Every structure is written in structure tokens, then in C-alpha cells.
Structure 1
Amino acid sequence: MIHSKQDLKYYLNQDKLALHYSDDDKPSIIKDEIWKWEILLRKNEYVTNCLSNIIWFPYRAWIKYRYHKCSVKLGFTVPLNCFGPGLSIAHYGTITIGNAKVGRNCRLQEGVNIGSTGGSKKAATIGDNVFIGTGAKIIGDISIANNCVIGANSVVVKSINENGITVAGVPAKKISENDSKTFIDDRLDS
């Protein structure tokens, strides 16, 4: 979670690296919508967690408004303080995240849904360095170990306790010993 300006800068830098940009890059005016959305996500987390004084209300409202508009435009429904540093969303399109907790260096494809089930408010706890493929669904109060790959269109309804494996299918089952290293940028902090 972001608790200071220094944390904000760290999260923003890790997200930039996760999106495969260099340190010198800046978001383009006409493109880079996902990168701009991630910047707004992190700024929204910062203003929500750190700027509680009434004097910051107009700035907080402006950031929240911009974050909401950008989320609607891209089709993202993501709560604050859900993802660790190093978030990478590959493509815009429907992404719905419930009350999940996701570790550092997560890479999401489009069409991903992470949510709760059966009236519970608890959603998945996902480890570090996890790649979640196109259309994957992660449902319920389950946990996913570090360095895992969730295959495209998989439905994960049971915990994955083994590190560094690939799961796929409906319901998802282990299909290989391949980990997520090929999907996660090497420059990111582990």
C-alpha cells in the first residue's frame, strides 16, 4: 500500500518498468491510455491514504473523477489498494477485480475477472510475479502461490499452493512446471 510520497514514486516507477517502458519515457498525449490509468490508480491510492486534510479535498476529488472517467473508458473495475507495485495490464478491455489482494509484479490480460462468490465479500489472495491470461476467472476466497501462470480462459476455484506452475482449464488444473518468468520484466524488484 502507498503510505508516503516516496511509496508513490516507487510504485509509479515499478509500474512503468512492468509496462516495458524505460526510465526516460513519459506517457504520450495520444496513446498510452493504460499507463495513464495506472498513474491515476496510484495517485488515487496516494490521495486516499495520505491526504486526509480538508485542504486537499479539491485535489482528491479531481483525481478520483479522472480515475473514474478513465476506468469507464477502458472497461476497468479495480478497487484501490488491491495491487502491489509492478502492475502491468497488457490490453484494455473488461477487467473486473473484487476485494482481492494481489502481490507485486502481476501481469493481467484483458477479460480477467477476480471476485468473490456465494455472498462472501472475500476474494482471492494472489502472490508475487503472477501472470493471468486472457479471459481468466479467479473466483472465491482462495490463494494463488508466487510465480504462477493462469492460462487463458481458465476458471480457478481452488487454491494453487505450488509455486512456479502453470494452470489452465475449467476448472483449472496444473498443466506444466513452467513459471511466469517469461511474462515478467527482468528489471522489476522481486
Structure 2
Amino acid sequence: MIKSKSDYLRYLEQDRLSLNVKGGLKDWLTHDIWHFQKALRKLEYYKNTSSNIVTKSYALYLQFRVRKLGRNLGFSIPANVFGPGLSIAHAGTIVVNGRCKIGANCRVHVCVNIGGGLSKRANPPVIGDDCYIGPGAKIYGDITIGNNVAVGANAVVNKSFGDNLTVGGIPAKLITDQGPLDILKKSRVNLNLDRSQ
């Protein structure tokens, strides 16, 4: 959670790197997701650190701005849910419960829904660091997903999973004991071997 100016700047930088934003004129003109994420992080900063009527009013303005940008892109993502390094892959429907806690370096694709259970009092999911959430995934209920977990496309996750896994299916089940970081590391090693031959 952003609690200081240094946190705010760190989150912004991690998000920029995750989105591979170079910062040029092209990104400024065309990268709508980056504009949304910058506004979201600014909202989090002011919402969490406001101490007077002026900054609280500005936080309220930012809340409306984030909501408007989100509607244009199809996002319903509230403040203080994602850790640093958020990477939203595409514009399109993404709905996240405001009480979810999702760790650092999460990559989220289109048509993802992360929410509570059948009752409003049900706890929403807690998701660890370095997770990949594939297109169309539905994650719901009082569950915990560990670090370095890939959730496959269109998976329905309604039970907890540990660390360093890939899950998929309806309902989700274990696919492999390798998470997204393991798969990336393996593909980089194979790429380097191919180049050396």
C-alpha cells in the first residue's frame, strides 16, 4: 500500500517497467492503460496520505477521474488492491473486488473477474506476488493463491493454491509445479542455448 511519496514513486516506476513504457511522445499519446495506472497510483497516494480538506477534495476528484478512465477501458479496479508492478495487458473488462489484496508484479489479462463469494460478507481472494492471470479467469471466494502462480485462460478458481504453480480448468486444478517465473527462466535458458549452437 502506498503510504509515502517514496512509495508512490516506487509503485509508478515498477508499473512503468511492467508495462514496458519508454516515456516518449508515442506512449504519452497512445498508452491509455498507462494513463489509467498513473491516475490509480496518484489516487492511492492521496487517499492514503490526505490530512486536510484540500488534499481530501483532490483525492475525491481523482476517484472520479480513475472511475471515468476505467469505464472507458472497461476496468473496475479500486484503489489499494494491487501491489507495485501491475501490468494490465489489454483494455477490456476487468472487475476486481475492492477488498482483494494482490501482490507485486501481477499481470492481468482481459475479461478477468476477481471477487468475493455468494454473500457480501464473504472474504475476497488474496493473491501473492509474481502472478499471471490469463484471459477470462474467474477467481472468487475466501481463498489464497500463493506467489509465482499462473492462472490459465478461462480458469475458474474457487479454492486455495500454494506457491510456484500453474492452474487451469473449470474448476481449477494443478497443471504443473512451475509458475510463470520458472517458465520464463526455462524459456530464456533454451533461447540462449539455441543462440550458442
Instruction: Identify, as 1 or 2, the structure richer in helix.
Output: 2
- The match for 2:51 is 52
- TM-score, normalised via structure 2 length: 0.86
Distance 1:179 1:26, change over 3 A: farther
- The match for 2:111 is 111
- The match for 1:144 is 145
CA contact (8 A) 1:2 1:46 kept: yes
Identity of aligned residues (%): 44
Give the number of aligned pairs.
182
CA contact (8 A) 1:154 1:170 kept: yes
Partner-residue secondary structure (3-state), 2:70? helix
Partner-residue secondary structure (3-state), 2:65? helix
Partner-residue secondary structure (3-state), 1:30? helix
- The match for 1:95 is 94
Question: C-alpha offsets along residues 115-138 of structure 1, whole Å, 9 cap, x if unaligned?
Answer: 011213410000000000000000
* Cα distance in 1 between the residues matched to 2:103 and 2:184: 15
- The match for 2:190 is none
Considering only aligned residues, what root-mean-square deviation do their CA atoms show, in Å?
Answer: 1.8
List alignment gaps of at least 5 residues for structure 1.
185-190
Question: C-alpha offsets along residues 131-160 of structure 1, whole Å, 9 cap, x if unaligned?
Answer: 000000001010001101000000000100
Distance 1:183 1:31, change over 3 A: farther
Which deviates more from structure 2 when the two are superposed, residues 83-92 or residues 26-35?
Answer: 26-35
Report whether the alignment pairs 1:174 with 2:161: no
Residues 1-190 of structure 1 mapped to structure 2, 5 A cutoff = 1-22=1-22, 25=24, 28-98=27-97, 99-119=99-119, 120-161=121-162, 163-181=163-181
- The structure with the larger Rg is 2
* Cα distance in 2 between the residues matched to 1:26 and 1:8: 23
List alignment gaps of at least 5 residues for structure 2.
186-197
